[in-house]
Amino acid sequence: MLKTISWLLKDNKKKLYLPIFLTIIDAIGSMALYFILYLTVVELLNDTLTESKIIIYTAICAASVIYRIIIYRKGYLLCFTRGFDVAHDVRVDLGEHICNLNLGYFNKNSIGHLMNTLTNDIASFEGVLSHALPFCIKTLTLVVLIIIGTFFINWQLALSQCLVIVISFPILHWSNRLVKKYGKEKRSLGSRMISVVIEYIKGFKVFKSHNLTDTHFERLIDTLEDTRKLSIKTEYKMAIPNCMYVIIVSFLTPLILLLGSYMVSGNELTAESFVAFMIMSLALSALLISFEHYYIMLNDLKLATSNLKTTFDYKPLSYTDSDFTLDNYKVSFINVDFSYESGKEVLHNINFEAKEKSITALVGPSGAGKSTIANLIARFWDPTKGSIEIGGRDIKDLNPDQLLRYISAVFQENVLLNDTILNNIKIGKPDATYKEIIEAAKLANCHGFITKLPDGYDTMVAQGGASLSGGEKQRIAIARAILKKAPILLLDESTASLDPDNEAKINNALDRLMKDKTVFVIAHRLNTIRNAHQIILLNDGKVEEIGNHKYLMKQKGHYYRMVKEQEAASEWIVKGDAIYE
Ligand SMILES: Nc1ncnc2c1ncn2[C@@H]1O[C@H](COP(=O)(O)OP(=O)(O)OP(=O)(O)O)[C@@H](O)[C@H]1O
C-alpha cells in the first residue's frame, strides 16, 4: 500500500514531511506532561513536593501547553492544507489522465465506477492524508514513547503490557480482512447505485412516456435497499473483531492493577512507580482504542488507492508527433479492422479514400459500422489492424488533441452546456470575437431565434439544452462547427423528423458548413446525399458497395434497393389509421 500511495503522491511526498515532523514533535511534547505528572506523584508520595517545585512543575506544564498549542496548530493546519493540496493535485492529474484516454475506457468502465473513483476514492485518499495520517502518526509515536517509558519504570510490567498488545494484532488483521472484503463489495455496489441513479435521471422522459417510471424507480429502490443491507451486514461483521480488540486493549489496565498490586505487596515495585505505571497504562489503552479507528481508515485507503492506480494504469493513446501540421486533408482507410471488445470485430478490412474537399456519405443498415468509422477518423479509438491516414500521416502517430483541431463534428445528440448561448457557440473557438460568433450564428441560421430570446445571446441554456428544440440545438452545434473552421467535418445526419421550415434551415446551414471541407456524412435519408462524391455502403462491418449515386444506381445492388424502398416509403400517405400506397 505504501508503494502505491508513494506512487500516487509523486513529488508531493515532500509536502508532507514538515507536517509529519511537527506531528511527531507534538507527540513528544505531550509526553512531557506525563513526565511531570509522574514526578509530581513521586514527590507527593515521598512527601518531598515543596511549593517551589509546584511552581516549577506548573511553569513547565504551562510552557509545554503553549509550545504544544503552537506546534499543534501549525502541524495540524499543515497536515490538513497539504493533505487537501495533495488530493487536489491527484484529482487534477486524474482528470487530465481521463481526458487523454480513448473512449474504450468509458466503454469498459461504467460511469458509476468512474464517478466512484473521482469522488469517493479521492475523498478517502483526501480524508486519510488530512485526518487519519496525522492522528495515526501521533498515536503511534505516543504508543512507542509510552511503552519505552514504562520499561524504565518496570520492565516486567512493561513486558506483560506488550504481550497484551501483541495478542491484539491478529484481531486487527481479522478486521483488516473484513474491511477489504466488505469495502470491495461496498465500492462495487456504490458504483452500481450511481449508474442506476444516472440511468434513472437520463431516461426519466423515456420511462415516463412508456409508463415505466415505477418499474425503474423500483430498480433504484432495490439498489438502495442492497446498499442499506450491505452497510448493516458490514457493521455487524466488523462489530465482532472491533469489540474483541477494544476488550483486549481495555484489559491492559486491570492487568497492570492486578500484577502491580502483587509486586507492590511483595516489595518488588514502589507505590509511586505503580501509580505512575497505572497512569501510563490508562493513556496507552485509550490511545490503542482510538488507533483502531484510524487503522480501519488506512486499510480502506488501500482499496481507494488501488482503484485510483487502476485508472492511472490505463494507458492513454500513444503518439510520436505532438506538434504537426497537415499538408492536405485527404482521408484514407487502409485494411482497417476494428473491435470495441476483444473477439467481437465490428469493422472488417475497410479500404477507401476520401479526397480533400470531397463529400463521402456513409450509408447502410443500423449497426453496420457507420458511426464507428466516424469515431475512428476522430481517433476516439485506434483500429485493431490496418491504418487510417489523414494528409498522408498515420493518425496513430499524431497527438489526438492536436488532431481534433482539424476535425469538427455535428452529431445527432448535441450536448449544450448549462451556460449562455454565446458561450455554447464559443466552444467551437474559445478565443472567438463577439463579431465572429454572431457571423457563425447567422450562417447556421440561429441568429434569428437567438435574438428573439429574452436575453439574446446571454440567455442561459438549461442543462443539456432542455430549453431549446431539437432543431435549434442542432443549429447551435452547426454554428460551433462553422466557428471552428476545421477542414474535416464529421456529420451525423439527424434521424428525427423535423418540420419543413427547420429542415430547410438546417440543410441550408449545413451546405454553408460543408463548403470546401473533407466531409463524412452518416446519411439516413438517401435523397440528401445524391450529390456526394462517393457513397460507401456498409453492411455488417464491411464495405459492400462504393461509388457515386449514379454509379451505384446502375449497379442495381443493395444501395439501389435501399433508395427504391425509401422512395416508396415517402410516397405513402397516412390517412387516419390506415396506410395507403
Ligand atoms: N461503444 C460501443 N461498445 C461496444 N460495441 C459498440 C459500441 N458502439 C457500437 N458498437 C457496436 O458496433 C457495431 C457498429 O455500430 P455503429 O454505431 O458503428 O453502427 P451504425 O451503422 O452507426 O448504426 P446506426 O445507424 O444504428 O447508428 C454495432 O454492432 C454496435 O452494437
Å from CA of 360 to ligand 1 middle: 19
Å from CA of 490 to ligand 1 middle: 16
Which atom of ligand 1 is found nearest the CA of 362?
A: 21
Which atom of ligand 1 is found nearest the CA of 373?
A: 18
Å from CA of 368 to ligand 1 middle: 7
Q: Whose CA is nearest to atom 7 of ligand 1?
A: 340
- Verify whether ligand 1 is closer than 6 Å to residue 369 (CB atom): yes
- Verify whether ligand 1 is closer than 6 Å to residue 367 (CB atom): yes
- Verify whether ligand 1 is closer than 6 Å to residue 365 (CB atom): no
Å from CA of 68 to ligand 1 middle: 64
Å from CA of 173 to ligand 1 middle: 48
- Verify whether ligand 1 is closer than 6 Å to residue 372 (CB atom): yes
- pLDDT at site 1: 61
- pLDDT at site 210: 64
- pLDDT at site 335: 96
The SS3 of residue 20 is helix
Task: Specify the pairing of strand 534-539 against strand 542-547.
Answer: antiparallel
Å from CA of 218 to ligand 1 middle: 30
Taking only the tens of pLDDT, the chain with its 581 residues reads: 666 667 767 777 777 788 888 888 888 877 788 788 878 888 888 888 888 888 998 898 888 888 878 887 787 788 778 778 888 888 888 888 887 777 667 755 567 777 888 888 888 878 877 777 778 888 888 899 889 988 988 899 999 989 988 998 888 888 888 888 888 888 788 878 877 787 777 777 666 666 666 666 777 788 888 888 888 888 888 888 889 998 898 888 889 899 999 999 988 888 888 888 888 888 889 889 888 888 887 777 777 787 788 888 888 788 898 888 888 999 999 999 999 888 899 999 999 999 999 999 999 888 899 999 999 999 988 999 999 999 999 999 998 888 988 998 887 777 788 888 999 898 888 888 999 999 989 888 889 888 988 888 888 887 555 578 878 888 888 889 888 989 999 988 755 545 666 667 777 777 777 888 899 999 877 777 888 899 999 999 999 999 999 999 999 999 999 888 877 776 654 444 444 33
Which atom of ligand 1 is found nearest the CA of 369?
A: 18
Q: Residue 511 CA to chain centroid, in angstroms?
A: 39
Q: Residue 73 CA to chain centroid, in angstroms?
A: 33
Which atom of ligand 1 is found nearest the CA of 541?
A: 14
Whether the predicted model's global pTM rises above the 0.90 cut: no
Å from CA of 209 to ligand 1 middle: 25
Which grid cell sits at 231?
A: 452497510
Is-contact 339 384, C-beta < 8 A? yes
Å from CA of 523 to ligand 1 middle: 15
Which grid cell sits at 47?
A: 512527601
DSSP string over 119-138: IIIHHHHHHIIIIIHHHHHH
Å from CA of 367 to ligand 1 middle: 5
The residues near 112 (Cβ < 8 Å, ≥ 6 apart) are: 190, 191, 192, 193, 194, 195, 196, 198
Å from CA of 40 to ligand 1 middle: 80
- Verify whether ligand 1 is closer than 6 Å to residue 346 (CB atom): yes
- pLDDT at site 549: 92
Å from CA of 316 to ligand 1 middle: 22
Burial 516-540 (b: 16+ CB within 10 A, else e): ebbbbbbbbebeebeebebbbbbee
- pLDDT at site 573: 44
- pLDDT at site 542: 95
- Verify whether ligand 1 is closer than 6 Å to residue 368 (CB atom): yes
Structural domain boundaries of the chain?
2-313, 331-408+484-580
- Verify whether ligand 1 is closer than 6 Å to residue 340 (CB atom): yes
Among the listed residues 289, 287, 115, 310, the one whose alpha carbon sits nearest the alpha carbon of residue 193: 115
- Verify whether ligand 1 is closer than 6 Å to residue 420 (CB atom): no
**Scanning the structure block, which residue is given the C-alpha cell 476520401?**
354
Q: Whose CA is nearest to atom 2 of ligand 1?
A: 340
Pocket test for ligand 1, best of 341, 370, 413, 540 (most atoms within 8 A of CB): 370
Q: Whose CA is nearest to atom 9 of ligand 1?
A: 372
Å from CA of 372 to ligand 1 middle: 6
Pocket test for ligand 1, best of 102, 348, 362, 371 (most atoms within 8 A of CB): 371
- Verify whether ligand 1 is closer than 6 Å to residue 324 (CB atom): no
Give the long-range contacts of residues 292-296, CB within 8 A, separation 24 or more.
292/172, 292/175, 292/242, 292/245, 292/246, 294/132, 294/135, 294/136, 294/139, 295/136, 295/172, 295/175, 295/176, 296/175, 296/176, 296/179, 296/238
CB atoms within 10 A of CB 153: 17
Pocket test for ligand 1, best of 103, 111, 372, 536 (most atoms within 8 A of CB): 372
Distance of alpha carbon 210 from alpha carbon 56, whole angstroms: 82
- pLDDT at site 576: 43
Q: How far is CA 160 from CA 247, 257, 267, in A?
A: 16, 12, 18
Pocket test for ligand 1, best of 336, 340, 413 (most atoms within 8 A of CB): 340
- pLDDT at site 571: 62
Which grid cell sits at 452?
A: 428573439
CATH of 2-313, one of 1.10.10.10, 1.20.1560.10, 2.60.120.10, 3.30.60.50: 1.20.1560.10
- pLDDT at site 575: 43
Q: How many CA atoms lie within 13 A of 103 on its CB side?
A: 11
Q: How far is CA 42 from CA 53, 283, 411, 516, 519, in A?
A: 12, 18, 83, 95, 92
Domain 331-408+484-580: CATH architecture, name and number where available? 3-Layer(aba) Sandwich (3.40)
- Verify whether ligand 1 is closer than 6 Å to residue 345 (CB atom): no
- Kindly report the length of the chain: 581
- Verify whether ligand 1 is closer than 6 Å to residue 366 (CB atom): yes
Q: Whose CA is nearest to atom 31 of ligand 1?
A: 367
- Verify whether ligand 1 is closer than 6 Å to residue 370 (CB atom): yes
Q: How many CA atoms lie within 13 A of 341 on its CB side?
A: 5
Å from CA of 400 to ligand 1 middle: 22
